[in-house]
Amino acid sequence: MIGHARLLEELGKLVARSPADATSVCADAERLRVSRFAHETIHQDLVQESLSVTIKVIVNRRVGIAVTDTLEYASLHRGLRAALEIARHAPPTTLLAPLPGPYQHITLQDYDPATAEMPAQHFVNVLKRLLQICQGVGATLAGSFTVSEAELAVANSNGVACYAASTAAAAKLVTMYRKLSGYASGVEPHINHLDVEALLERALKLCLHRHDPLTLPTGTYEVILEPEAVAELVTWLGYIAFGAKSFQERTSCLSGRMGEALLARSITISDDGNDPAGLRQPFDYEGVAKQRVALIDRGVATGIVYDTTYGHLYGQPSTGHAQPPDQPDGPLPLHLFLEPGTTRREELIRSCRRGLLIPRFHYVSGLLNTREALMTGLTREGTWLIEDGKLRHPVTTMRFTQSFLEAFGHVLGVSKERRLIADPAQDAGCAVMPTVRLAKFRFTGRSA
């Protein structure tokens, strides 16, 4: 852990020495430990430490951005000189907003020293317990454990000085029995809150059966999507629809439709980087405090997220959703919440006469037709055919091609239970999602 004192000191000194009209510097540091296991052994145990310092300068309405990976004096000033040189050769930009500020914020509320300092032996002991359970039922186990320690600091020439530190512990479990497999994942800011045995129980329930998987015909099915599957689709929607850049470029399905009912009344989606049910991030990469944004309210399109650039363009305040200055996607919602319903997950299954239970998707793309939020992807472990309210047969892999707007416009139920979905080893942000029952979902391909 670098700590707020050193990070803000180094960033502040660099800002003070910059000759630019305006300067902003953000530092993103992470220490990641990943233990991957299969065949009853940990076959990969890695620790990765990374630091990215992004320097943005504005000179005569020209912007220059440079990145370095160390806090050493020489490297930081090399980066500053590079940003100034880039700005000197860049054309003037019309998408230019004043830097935010002043704003100071330092927090370690989501930093757990016990999580950050957890020894490797802890994972060995956990894996032994899980393997004993699997061996007792004749199943095999693979997966990974991850612990992350993250720091974000932002300073600028307009009085911004922000720092936040956080931790997260995550587990992914894949269980295998005969020709079947099951999957479960979990993540918590505090490692002692991560119940890996409960995750294992959930994964085993999806595979401990003697039925061979069925290959179903393509077509439209009623589906019950578990939180991981819902998170995959809603996260894609956040990327293609809820940002001010896609809205302004009219590639978003919300462009020209604000205030219209696009989804079922039971669907309310928001973004909130301060909700303790998620993995919190109190400010963005410009040092602006994150605001809760209602994106879909009872099916009606109500909002998008802004950074200072697009907020200035639209005459709106930034909602605290800026990405690193070198990223091209504009502001994005990275802490998505879908409001829970009133029905238990088990009741959603019992009320389904014939349909599919889908724990998760993979290889999903939401870029087919972003105006209609058309997506495609594959089912994965633990997909089951439901008949008369019961899980009857496992199902082989199927490909869906489906508009999010159409699917979530015909919602039959939303569970009261929700799960936190995140992968600290790969992606920033999180999603807190319930199980959702949809009346129709189109499958266009299947595995052999």
- The Cα–Cα gap between 100 and 288 comes to 7
Whether 434 and 417 have beta carbons less than 8 Å apart is answered as yes
Token pair recorded at residue 164: 């936040």
Residue 61 CA, chain-centre distance (Å), reads 34
Q: Residue 167 phi/psi, 5° resolution? A: -130, 160
Domain ranges for the chain, please list them: 4-205, 219-446
Q: Residue 141 is which amino acid?
A: L
- The Cα–Cα gap between 39 and 52 comes to 36
Whether 167 and 40 have beta carbons less than 8 Å apart is answered as no
| CATH class of the domain at 4-205 | alpha beta
Angle at 146 between CA 273 and CA 44, to 5 degrees: 150
Token pair 């393509």 is at which residue? 218
Q: Which of 308, 304, 309 shows the shortest CA–CA distance to 332?
A: 304
Q: What are the angstrom distances between the C-alpha of 9 and each of 25, 151, 255, 407? A: 12, 14, 42, 50
What number of CA atoms fall less than 13 Å from residue 382's CA on the CB side?
25
Q: What are the angstrom distances between the C-alpha of 102 and each of 53, 156, 289? A: 21, 9, 11
Q: What are the angstrom distances between the C-alpha of 276 and each of 109, 272, 273, 389, 418? A: 10, 9, 8, 35, 13
Measure CA of the first residue to CA of the last residue in the chain; give whole Å: 49
Kind plus residue range of the DSSP H or E element containing 350: helix 345-350
DSSP string, 328-390: SS-S---EEEE---SB-HHHHHHT-SEEEEE--EEEEEEEEETTTTEEEEEE-TT-EEEETTE
Confidence (pLDDT) at 448 = 59
Confidence (pLDDT) at 211 = 80
Q: Residue 210 is which amino acid?
A: R
Confidence (pLDDT) at 427 = 74
Task: To the nearest 10°, report the CA torsion of 303, 268, 232, 280.
Answer: 70
Length of the chain as a residue count: 448
Per-residue pLDDT of the chain in tens (448 residues, 90 and over written 9): 999 999 999 999 999 999 999 999 999 999 999 999 999 899 999 999 999 999 999 999 999 999 999 999 999 999 999 999 999 999 999 889 999 999 999 999 999 999 999 998 999 999 999 999 999 999 999 999 999 999 999 999 999 999 999 999 999 999 999 989 999 999 999 999 999 999 999 999 999 987 889 999 999 999 999 999 999 999 999 999 999 999 999 999 999 999 999 999 999 999 999 999 999 999 999 999 999 999 999 999 999 999 999 999 999 999 999 999 989 999 999 999 999 999 999 999 999 999 999 999 999 999 999 999 999 999 988 899 999 999 999 999 999 999 999 999 999 999 999 999 999 887 789 999 999 999 999 999 987 5
Q: What are the angstrom distances between the C-alpha of 367 and each of 47, 233, 361, 404, 405? A: 34, 12, 16, 12, 14
Q: Residue 418 is which amino acid?
A: R
Token pair 């007792």 is at which residue? 136
Q: How many CB atoms lie within 10 A of CB 411?
A: 18
Q: Residue 247 phi/psi, 5° resolution? A: -65, -45
